[in-house]
Structure 1
């Protein structure tokens, strides 16, 4: 897979260490999440990668080329700060100004407004827009130059649930077109819903970088239920493929140590005379995995 971005040992020191020796790669066509609480180094990382903040040490390559020059920036659409548009001008007029500065044909304006579901409101003044609509217009502005990479810093910050869902749907739609997206967020739920890969930051340190699915070393767990709970627990323990078997909320939770499919487990239990009323194989939530990573980084 083609690498869009390669970050090596990137560090930024102010009075404190904001970003500490982080390394990660971003591959073409994926949605990456930069996950961490406020103050973990997300915005500082973006600032360095976009050459608005000078690094203390480390390096990066965009599209195989060292650093970030003006030619590279033309391939990147970024929303790092709050949308900054003229309040009394319409969405269309505001985008015309951006298009003129970037030497982009006005024909792109309707295309990007349609992507963010604002085409029917393009004649309305920016000051009449809700916070969610303003954020969607900012995304439209970032898409004007048809970038290969879209960078979004906390795109759902301050939005109500409906606004969050709208932004999430737009990000997923843009990703399907093949655009590589990097999203910074402190919201675990949002990262889990839109990202294929995640870089987890804690106090400037990258404590994980990889796919969301591979974030946990565990193989997941089974939820099971049967009429005879004690017999079910005993038989599951005898198989030697579970690291733990416990009762929780009227269900049996069996942590998998040796991978097995749900159908295979169902067959093995049926052969032991146990008929299940409930069987579901699950992976730990991103929240569970995140908390485990933080715990490991503290030890």
Structure 2
């Protein structure tokens, strides 16, 4: 895969270390999450990558070129602050001003408003917009120049559940068009729903960088139920495919050590006289994996 961004040993010290020697790559066409609590260095990292904050040390490349120059910025759409538009002007007029600044054609305005589901409200003043609509208009402005990369810093911050879902759907829609997206968030659930890859920050240090699926070394687990629970547990232990077999709330949970499909497991249990009324294969949630990573980084 083509690397859009390569970050090497990036560090920023203010009075204290805000970002500590982080390295990660971003490959074209994926959605990356920069995950960490407030104060973990997410916004500072974005600031350095967009050349609004000078790094203490380290380097990065956008599109194979060192640093972030004017030409590079034209290929990036970013929202790293609260939406800032003229309150008395309509969405359309505000985007016309942004288009002039960015050198983007006005013909893009309806397209980006449609992308963020605001086309029907384009004549309405910005001051009449809800917080979620203002955030969606900010995304539209970032898309005006048809960027190759979209950077969003806490795009769902302060939104109600409906607003969060709308932003999530928009991000997924933009990603399907092939745009590379980097999203900073402290919300594990949101990162899990929209991102293929994640960089986990803790106190400015990257404790994980890679695919969401690969965050955990485990192969997942099965949830099973049978009328003969004793026979089920005995059969599972006899297969030597599981690191542990436990009972929880009338469900048997088998932690996978040797990967096997649900249909294959069902067949093997049937051959042992076990008839299942429930069988589901699952992966650990991102929250479980995140907590395990934090625990490992503390040890």
TM-score, normalised to structure 1's length? 0.99
Cα RMSD of the aligned pairs, angstroms, is 0.7
Q: Does 1:97 align with 2:97?
A: yes
Q: How do 1:132-143 residues align onto structure 2 when only pairs under 5 Å count?
A: 132-143=132-143
Secondary structure in 2 aligned to 1:71?
A: helix
The 2-side partners of 1:235 and 1:60 are apart by 53
The 1-side partners of 2:282 and 2:179 are apart by 30
Q: 1:90-113 CA distances to partner (integer Å, 9 max, x unpaired)?
A: 111111111111222111111111
Q: Which runs of 4+ in 1 moved over 6 A?
A: none
Q: Per-residue deviation at 1:261?
A: 1.2
The 2-side partners of 1:89 and 1:12 are apart by 39
Secondary structure in 2 aligned to 1:23?
A: strand
Secondary structure in 1 aligned to 2:15?
A: coil
Secondary structure in 2 aligned to 1:231?
A: helix
The 1-side partners of 2:55 and 2:156 are apart by 27
Aligned to 2:287: 287
Q: How do 1:145-294 residues align onto structure 2 when only pairs under 5 Å count?
A: 145-294=145-294
Residues paired across the two proteins, number: 299
Q: Per-residue deviation at 1:251?
A: 0.2
Aligned to 1:106: 106
The 2-side partners of 1:100 and 1:219 are apart by 51
Gaps of at least 5 residues in structure 2 are: none
Gaps of at least 5 residues in structure 1 are: none
TM-score, normalised to structure 2's length? 0.99
Q: How do 1:10-25 residues align onto structure 2 when only pairs under 5 Å count?
A: 10-25=10-25
Q: Per-residue deviation at 1:262?
A: 1.1
Secondary structure in 2 aligned to 1:214?
A: helix
Q: 1:12-67 CA distances to partner (integer Å, 9 max, x unpaired)?
A: 11111111110000000000000000001000000000000000110000000000
